[in-house]
Amino acid sequence: MLHFENDYNKGAHPAILEALVTSNFEGLAGYGSDPYTENVTEQLRELCDCPEAEVTLLTGGTQTNQLVIDTLLAPYEGVIAAETGHIATHEAGAIEFTGHKVLTLPHQDGKLSAKAVASYLAEFYADSNHSHMVYPGMVYISHPTEYGTLYTEDELEALSKICQAYDIPLFLDGARLAYGLAADGAVDIPTLARLTDVFYFGGTKAGLLCGEAVVFTKNNQPKHFVTHVKQHGALLAKGRLLSVQFKALFEDGLYESIGRHALEMAEQLKGILRDKGYRFYLESPTNQQFIIVSNETLEELDQQVAYSFWEKYDDQHTVIRLATSWSTTQADIDALREIL
């Protein structure tokens, strides 16, 4: 079986495993107070060109979204997101679980436009009944989006500006950020750090066993954050599991090379799909590709290729996702070419 269903079907990048093995018998303090965690903070401050960034390492994406949103919002506030945003669709109500409404707006290829956000905010405050409504207290975007698309610098500037105008934070879900940096013309990390208030480097989908590195960029990490993390059930006793992995990820250009590799594989994948006449659901410049496939074709693929069901397209067709990652090999691609 060829694995193109997602970017987390293998274990960890060998360099990551190696780091775990090497550090295994060091006696380290728990709960994130080990020197590796400090080291990651320094690495990310530099990478982000943001000397006052505060960094917290967490285990998974939904956990991270829940924690960041719940701790930055006031109780009477909700979070604006595209209706396709992960927090609005596939997190089992983890945001509502902590008391906050997800305020959804229409999307364009998975993206939220500054214009839509601006209208929503203007109309909210113009509505004389707004004290009976959920205050919009944050804007959430994912980059790459759930459809693999990317915001341009101009788009992020515009979102940042509207958030500043209303004094609400802009939060960027970077679960797949590694695969969003290597694309042609993609926004770089210091720019992301400058234009957002908080974002994270996804590790789970970039070759770690688990882990997401949250960066508060504006000296805005909520007070007693470690206690918030504990209260949410998200504090690991062996914080080293996260810090050792992330230290290795951000060393020697591994993070960047993982991104580049996956996108090279994705370019080949796109070429094959194009050559074979597959129909793209939309144009994605990153590691996730969405195609519209007839249900008969799907049944054939089932035997040889693992893919992700995305959504029903019509009665005869389905949208599926094929994804590359740090672990996709040239042999995988070549084998896929034979099958498709």
Q: What are phi and psi of 57, to 5 degrees?
A: -100, 125
Which range, of 74-82, 140-148, 152-160, 263-271, touches its own copies by CB under 8 A? Answer: 74-82
The 135-142 sheet, strands edge to edge: 54-58, 212-216, 198-202, 170-173, 135-142, 77-82, 102-105
- The residue within the footprint of its own copies, chosen from 63, 243, 288, 324 (CB under 8 A), is 63
Name residues whose C-beta falls within 8 Å of residue 323's C-beta, 6 or more positions apart in sequence.
4, 5, 6, 7, 287, 288, 289, 308
Tokens of 298: 């799907």
Interaction residues for its own copies, span 103-142 (CB under 8 A): 123, 126-129, 131-135
Interaction residues for its own copies, span 205-224 (CB under 8 A): 205, 209-210, 223-224
Q: For its own copies, what does the binding mask look like between residues 135 and 174, x meaning CB under 8 A? A: x---------------------------------------
Q: How far lies 296's CA from each of 59, 131, 279, 299, 320, in Å? A: 39, 53, 15, 5, 13
Whichever of 50 and 180 has its CB closer to its own copies, that residue is 180
Q: Is 170 helix (H, G, I), strand (E, B) or coil?
A: strand
Q: How far lies 143's CA from each of 16, 19, 307, in Å? A: 24, 28, 22
Min dist CB 194 to its own copies, Å, is 28
Is the CB of residue 292 less than 8 Å from the CB of residue 319?
yes
DSSP code, position 305: E
- The residue within the footprint of its own copies, chosen from 184, 185, 219, 237 (CB under 8 A), is 237
- The residue within the footprint of its own copies, chosen from 238, 274, 276, 279 (CB under 8 A), is 238
Whichever of 95 and 195 has its CB closer to its own copies, that residue is 95
- The residue within the footprint of its own copies, chosen from 279, 312, 330, 339 (CB under 8 A), is 312
Interaction residues for its own copies, span 245-264 (CB under 8 A): none
Min dist CB 66 to its own copies, Å, is 4
